[in-house]
Structure 1
């Protein structure tokens, strides 16, 4: 979710759900340790619980980046062993690390030493390229378990590092939910979450009959209300009032006002809100007005009022 789940996106998602665990976009350890890009660690206190997702393959750098995350108060530090993008592969980050389980084990051991009581977790694929997932994934999980990892998020697709684009890697390799479910049955002591192709809250609830958690990416971004608005009640059994779509928009007014007053552009926030009316009357007009006007100088929350569907204005 690089360039998607930034701090503005996460703040908006937290408006919709108070209890779901939010993940940052992947931040590379070299960017933090060597590049000094500490602004990538910024978040609002309201975002808790929030996890920092790190990319990297150097145990020392990952340990240092983990210490930075702990100092900033993150609730979890996650190592990404699933991203298939070319720029990630060139830095030996992401899914290519599925081919180097010993290195991954060394990385997470270093991260755990730096994390103290903050959980270190791993997001992985079921395999890459010509690997047999039914052989590779059980071995990979066993190695992580031996290294002290107790929480793993598994994207239920292979990643093809040659021949498929990152976008194609999200759709073309077939999903193998059964394999991931079997991993949970084989490791009742581990907290295992499933990811990949889960497009509705109902589908997430079905997986939760077997798995400990469900990670939702694109659907939560493109249809945030449908995925998140009722998650507290259905997943966490917390009787929070479910906001209307319109109430969720107005709950962002102060945040947007502060961002614009500090010199930020309206579109930096509203680009993450385009899907709030997905499937509803007026959704196309909402997206068009915000997309066309959000970058203009002086654009403010008034543009959201203008864009609201007529029944909600």
Structure 2
């Protein structure tokens, strides 16, 4: 028979481990609405960053906020990429977020350079603009901050998120971390919002990743690899959002799976459809182009997106 104090320690350990607010095993509206989406706004900096830190976390550190020029055409200082790194000890997670497109000049260059591609480590083809942006941020401060924090907290998960252009950068960064051995596939969680296509099919198949309104950022060769790199990865798309479709598939670009499509106002308790194919015709690709709308790109989760510190339902 075990001594009483051993039994008490075991019960305490089980209780503590059960209260950690880690990400659920699969997509959950509560977690997207009250955790990942508010967290994705961190890279906006300023008031939004301070507001998010105060409302999202009980015990967390804002490690670094970066905003660096990433123009690949003319060294325009107004074309930038931004990222914020946080460690949440409550969630046991290192969190990396990326900012969306911040001005018209950036959007023009993103579209003007879609024919320019870069090879992705380990195989795959991605947008040169998006890949350059994550490398500028990685070498500009993310790498040192991430590795230092990971060495101190080796068992923490890695949450990667962003919306729009930030979603494209998030998915590439999540894949890069795993491919280069900086994180295990089981530790990473990725969720994007309104993400454009950013790579070819050969890359598109684990880190935890959730993006919102993500454009395509790579070709089919990458999309096919992505699930083996980041199994826990979700692209959230709001109804008629046009950004996930503006980089066409006939140029070789393809989304990674899984898509979470809200064909509604994204109000509390609104249903969603999950499609586990990279370019499923059962989700937002079922829409004809005349339905696409920029309005839905800017209105994710109706009536706000209050961050919650509590774990929420699994």
TM-score range, shorter chain: 0.3 to 0.5
Higher strand proportion (structure 1 or 2): 2
> Structure 2-normalised TM-score?
0.35
> Structure 1-normalised TM-score?
0.35
Greater length-normalized contact order (CA 8 Å, ≥ 6 residues apart) = 2
